[in-house]
Amino acid sequence: MPARDELPDAFFMKLSGLIEAELFLKIESVNPSGSIKHKTAISLIDAAERSGRLQPGGTVIESTSGNLGISLAALCAKRGYGFTSVVDPNVSAQSVAMIHAFGGKVIQVTARDAQGGYLGTRIALIKEMLAADPTLYWTNQYANPANPAAHARLTAVEIAMAHPEADWVVVGAGTTGTLMGFLDYFDGIRHPAQVLAVDSTGSITFGGQAGPRFIPGLGTSRIPEIYQADKLRHSVLVPEPEAIRLCRWLATSHGYLAGGSTGSVLAGIRARADLFSKGTKVVALSPDGGEKYLDTVYNDAWVQEVYGALPALDLSADRPRQRLEEAASEVS
Ligand X SMILES: Cc1ncc(COP(=O)(O)O)c(C=O)c1O
Q: Which residues bind ligand X (CB under 6 A)?
A: 35, 37, 65, 67-68, 172-179, 217-218, 259, 261, 287-288
Q: How far is the CB of 151 from ligand X (least distance, A)?
A: 7
Instruction: Name the burial class of residue 7, with classes exposed (0-12), middle (13-18) and buried (19+) by CB atoms within 10 angstroms of its CB.
Output: middle
8 Å CB contact between 177 and 197: no
Q: How far is the CB of 63 from ligand X (least distance, A)?
A: 11
Task: Give the separation between CA 162 and CA 242, rounded to whole angstroms.
Answer: 29
Within a 13 Å sphere around the CA of 109, how many CA atoms are in the beta-carbon half?
21
Using DSSP's 3-state secondary structure scheme, residue 218 falls into coil
Sign of CA dihedral 163, 169, 174, 178: positive
8 Å CB contact between 30 and 6: no
Across-strand partners of 169? 195, 283
User: Which residue, 158 or 288, is less far from ligand X as judged by CB?
Assistant: 288
User: Which residue, 121 or 147, is less far from ligand X as judged by CB?
Assistant: 147
DSSP 55-109: -TT-EEEEE-SSHHHHHHHHHHHHHT-EEEEEE-TTS-HHHHHHHHHTT-EEEE-
User: Which residue, 22 or 173, is less far from ligand X as judged by CB?
Assistant: 173
Q: How far is the CB of 37 from ligand X (least distance, A)?
A: 6
Q: How far is the CB of 207 from ligand X (least distance, A)?
A: 16
8 Å CB contact between 196 and 237: no
User: Which residue, 173 or 244, is less far from ligand X as judged by CB?
Assistant: 173
Task: Give the separation between CA 16 and CA 20, rounded to whole angstroms.
Answer: 9
User: Which residue, 258 or 313, is less far from ligand X as judged by CB?
Assistant: 258
Q: How far is the CB of 68 from ligand X (least distance, A)?
A: 5
User: Which residue, 117 or 259, is less far from ligand X as judged by CB?
Assistant: 259
Instruction: Name the burial class of residue 57, with classes exposed (0-12), middle (13-18) and buried (19+) by CB atoms within 10 angstroms of its CB.
Output: exposed
User: Which residue, 121 or 144, is less far from ligand X as judged by CB?
Assistant: 144
* Nearest to 197, CA basis, from 151, 247, 161, 241: 151
Q: How far is the CB of 65 from ligand X (least distance, A)?
A: 6
Q: How far is the CB of 283 from ligand X (least distance, A)?
A: 15
The Cβ of residue 76 has, within 10 Å, a number of other Cβ atoms equal to 24
User: Which residue, 33 or 176, is less far from ligand X as judged by CB?
Assistant: 176
If you count them, how many residues does the chain have? 332
